[in-house]
Amino acid sequence: MNYQKTFYRKGIKTGFKNLDELISGFKPKELIILGARTGMGKTAFMLNLACNIAKNFNTNPKNQKAVIFSLEMAAEELGIRLFSSASKIPLKQLQHKNLNKNEKLQLLIPEDETTQLNILIDDDRNNKIEDIETKCRQMKYTKGLDIVFIDYLHLLKEDQNFNTYQAISVISRKLKKLASELNIPIVALSQMNRATYVREVKRPQLTDLRDSGTIEQDADVVMLLHRESYYQKPDINPHTNLIIAKNRSGQKGECSFNFYKQIQRFEAK
Greater confidence (75 vs 161) lies with 75
Cα separation of 40 and 38, whole Å? 6
Contact 30, 220 (CB under 8 A): yes
Q: Please give the single-letter amino acid code of residue 130.
A: E
Cα separation of 82 and 111, whole Å? 9
Contact 59, 43 (CB under 8 A): no
Q: Report domain extents, the chain.
A: 3-268
- Report the percent of the chain where pLDDT is more than 90: 48
Neighbouring CB atoms inside 10 A of 175's CB total 26
Would you please indicate which residues are annotated as catalytic (active-site) residues?
Answer: 72
Edge-to-edge strand order for the sheet containing 186-190?
Answer: 119-122, 66-70, 147-151, 186-190, 31-35, 221-226, 239-247, 253-260, 265-268
Band of residue 214 on the pLDDT scale cut at 50, 70, 90: confident
CA diameter of the chain:
62
Q: Which one, of 111, 79, 119, 114, lies nearest residue 95 by Cα? A: 79
Q: Is the pLDDT of residue 5 over 80?
A: no
Angle between helices 129-142 and 164-182 (to 10 degrees): 10
- Quickly list H helices, 62-157: 75-87, 91-95, 101-115, 129-142
Specify the CATH class of 3-268 in words.
alpha beta
Convert the pLDDT of each residue in 92-122 to its tens digit: 888 877 666 555 545 544 444 445 677 889 9
Greater confidence (59 vs 1) lies with 59
Cα separation of 54 and 118, whole Å? 6
Mean pLDDT of the chain: 84
Greater confidence (47 vs 76) lies with 47
pLDDT of 41 reads 93
Using DSSP, state whether 64 is helix, strand or coil: coil
How big is the chain by its Cα radius of gyration, in Å?
18
Cα separation of 184 and 168, whole Å? 21
pLDDT of 63 reads 64
Intra-chain end-to-end CA distance of the chain, in Å: 41
- Bond into 61 cis (ω within 30): no
Convert the pLDDT of each residue in 131-171 to its tens digit: 999 999 999 999 889 999 999 888 888 777 777 788 888 89
